[in-house]
Amino acid sequence: MRTLVLCLVSSLAFAAEPTAQEILAKYDAVMGPGTFEAQTEMTATREDGSARTYGMRFLKRDADKFRVWFSEPASVKGQEILRLGDNAWVYLPNLKRATRIANRDSFQGGDFNNADVLRVNYTADYDAVLVPSDKADALTVELKAKSTETAYDKIRLTVRKGDLQPLKGEYFGTSGQMIRSATFSEHKEFEKGFVRPARIVMQNEVVKARKSEMVTKSFKLNVDAPPQRFMQADLGK
């Protein structure tokens, strides 16, 4: 009887462990919920030790519409980024026109790329499997890109076992080399029941002196996000 009870307890514990797909769904819900507005700062540290801080406002609607307004520094004030589905553009106010950008392009010359910021949809973009974690209180999934259009060929994502909040990311290129790593920290309840990391540090693993830090100042869910704000004709307005 004792053996039977132990087997049943073990089976229930195993069944309670989330699947790789459930971990991805949680990541997407935390890092890229359906509709939100956020105030964010990114500080990019270059290889010469210099640093530049960018002030931004994010607005997202549904899964495929994202817009960014830059408020600082003065050299980028007035710039905007718009993503519609698989396409994205940066609007340059001095030229009064928008230029196409790619997922793998650097976000404002830092160590996040455009997809890291503008397109958080791991469920759509990657296949995932659970792999052994190096921490007893964490779970790790390995993600493989479904297409060549994704920002990375492979990602290894580690989350807290209790609430599946992200802790660490490792990002690999097509050569198999790890090109970036991220730490997620200062998990904060921005709205009742909605917790996410307030700070993400993206380390360049190729040029070790480079890193970028993204800090979320405010985050509001279910805001008004009119469809016209996600049209190219609205850029610069």
| Residue 176 backbone dihedrals phi, psi, to 5 degrees | 95, -5
Burial bucket for residue 5 (CB in 10 Å: 0-12, 13-18, 19+): exposed
What is the sign of the dihedral through the CA atoms of 192, 59, 104 and 64? positive
Residue 67 contacts residue 40 (beta carbons within 8 Å): no
Q: How many whole angstroms separate alpha carbon 154 and alpha carbon 105?
A: 17
The per-residue pLDDT string of the chain (237 residues; one tens digit each, 9 = 90 and over) reads: 555 444 444 444 445 789 999 999 999 999 999 999 999 999 999 999 999 999 999 999 999 999 999 999 999 999 999 999 989 999 999 999 999 999 989 999 999 999 999 999 999 999 999 999 999 999 999 999 999 889 899 999 999 999 999 999 999 999 999 999 999 999 999 999 999 999 999 999 999 999 999 999 999 999 999 999 999 999 998
Helix ranges (H only) for the chain are: 2-16, 20-31, 114-118, 122-125
Class at the top of the CATH hierarchy for domain 19-234: mainly beta
Which residues, listed in sequence order, are joined to residue 80 by a DSSP beta bridge? 69, 91
Taking the model in full, what pTM does it have?
A: 0.90
Q: How many whole angstroms separate alpha carbon 165 and alpha carbon 168?
A: 10
Q: Give domain limits for the chain.
A: 19-234
